[in-house]
Amino acid sequence: MPHLVAPGACARLVHHMPVVVNLTRHSEPSTVTERVLVIVNAASRRGEDARGALVTALVAHDFHPVVEPLDDAATLAARVRAHAADVTRVIVAGGDGTVGTVAGAVLGTGLPLGIVPTGTANNLARTLGIPASVEEACALVRAGRTHAIDAAEVNGRVFMTTASIGLSVAITEALTDDAKRRMGTLAYAATAARTVRRAERFVADITWPGGTRRARTVQVVVGNGRFYGSAMQVADDTRIDDHALDLYSLEVRAKWRLLALGPRMKRGTHGDADDVRALRAPEFHVATATPMTVNADGELVTETPATFRVLPSALTVYAPDAADAPGLG
């Protein structure tokens, strides 16, 4: 049974215990009728500080929060299914890895997802135009404006932003939680600068409906959303509701070219360069001579051979109007 606490105890919520905020202890009549499932990554960059603020903000917006811990994907999916009949929405607070895990658990339940960005890069929130403030993100959920967006999967693992092979994996392996807490998104750039000199080319056989390519590359990135890493863009015209994935392969011969491509990658125009191959399709398959690690939403999740698929309009999220969201059509 979930434990009952008053809203004043929000800051003392223990992240490994499910919690229901009981408003009936207040002397004033409560108008709360809507129970929402809340999942918080307390280990994210702002997660510990944001947890109490999140529950307080939800209560202020007349929600009845049921707080569950962040767990492994299978356990979390079971928790979400168990609550599916008695909550109206799921709200996740964390970074892209947390949001991707929760999104995978929500798929198939029909529940809309509210995102409160408390991680380091928060690229899905950036794609959707979701504000960084806990209070503003909760107000967006209360406003009730929803949008159907695509999800993606690699070897059956759901991701929401990008999945990659090669240099990005090396950066993820070198990037420490301490650096992310201290430096924020600058940690990505600093770690990339140290890692680029060790980048090695590899051969990737890439196939998609209607095409195939053997690439000598230092990095293959497959994007569902618009932004990844330190707010770099997969492509400047990609959308998270276009029912397609964008792949690019960095087929540079000299490492200095990686630095030269940096400004283009921030703008999302690197696909125009002669040594970058850019493709758009609903599915890609990437094979390498020996298994290579695949990074998805900032987490190391599987190995090649890897099949990437778009899941069209698989998830309903709370988002502002498309005019205020760079990654919505």
Q: How far is residue 46's CA from residue 94's CA, in Å, rounded to a whole number?
A: 8
Q: How far is residue 117's CA from residue 132's CA, in Å, rounded to a whole number?
A: 6
Give the pLDDT band of residue 265 (cuts 50, 70, 90). Answer: confident
pLDDT of residue 25 exceeding 70: no
pLDDT at 185: 58
Nearest alpha-carbon partner for 120 in 139, 96, 84, 155: 96
pLDDT at 30: 45
Q: What is the CATH code for 157-313?
A: 2.60.200.40
Q: Please state the rounded mean pLDDT for residues 263-271.
A: 90
Summarize the chain as % helix, strand, coil (round to 5).
35, 35, 35
Helix (H, G, I), strand (E, B), or coil: what is residue 250? strand
Mean pLDDT, all residues of the chain: 84
Give the pLDDT band of residue 6 (cuts 50, 70, 90). Answer: very low
Q: Please state the rounded mean pLDDT for residues 293-321.
A: 95
* Burial of 252 from C-beta contacts in 10 A (0-12 / 13-18 / 19+): buried
Give the phi and the psi of residue 49 in degrees, each rounded to 5: -70, -35
270: amino acid identity, one letter? H
Residue 237 vs residues 162, 195, 326: alpha-carbon distances, Å: 15, 28, 9
Q: Please state the rounded mean pLDDT for residues 121-128.
A: 93
CATH class as words, domain 3-144? alpha beta
pLDDT at 169: 78
pLDDT of residue 183 exceeding 60: no
Helix (H, G, I), strand (E, B), or coil: what is residue 85? coil
Among the listed ranges 6-20, 54-68, 187-201, which one has the minimum average pLDDT value? 6-20
Among the listed ranges 186-195, 240-249, 318-327, which one has the minimum average pLDDT value? 186-195
Residue 40 vs residues 2, 73, 79, 93, 102: alpha-carbon distances, Å: 16, 14, 14, 5, 10
pLDDT at 71: 79
pLDDT of residue 10 exceeding 90: no
- The answer to whether 113 and 80 are in contact (CB under 8 A) is no
Buried b (16+ CB within 10 A) or exposed e, 203-223: ebebbbeeeeeebebbbbbbb
Q: Please state the rounded mean pLDDT for residues 287-298.
A: 95
Token pair of 21 as six digits:
């905020």
Give the phi and the psi of residue 21 in degrees, each rounded to 5: -80, 120
Q: How far is residue 48's CA from residue 94's CA, in Å, rounded to a whole number?
A: 10
Residue 98 vs residues 13, 145, 159, 280, 290: alpha-carbon distances, Å: 19, 22, 10, 26, 29
pTM exceeding 0.85: no
The share of the chain scoring above pLDDT 70, in percent, equals 79
- The answer to whether 270 and 261 are in contact (CB under 8 A) is yes
158: amino acid identity, one letter? V
Structural domain boundaries of the chain? 3-144, 157-313
Query: In the structure, how many helices (H) and strands (E) does the chain have?
Result: 9, 20
Q: Please state the rounded mean pLDDT for residues 111-130.
A: 94
Helix (H, G, I), strand (E, B), or coil: what is residue 63? strand
Condensed to tens digits (0 to 9), the pLDDT of residues 70-97 reads 878 788 899 999 999 999 999 999 989 9
pLDDT at 253: 87
pLDDT at 190: 60
pLDDT of residue 179 exceeding 60: no
Q: Which one is predicted more confidently, 233 or 174?
A: 233
Give the pLDDT band of residue 63 (cuts 50, 70, 90). Answer: very high
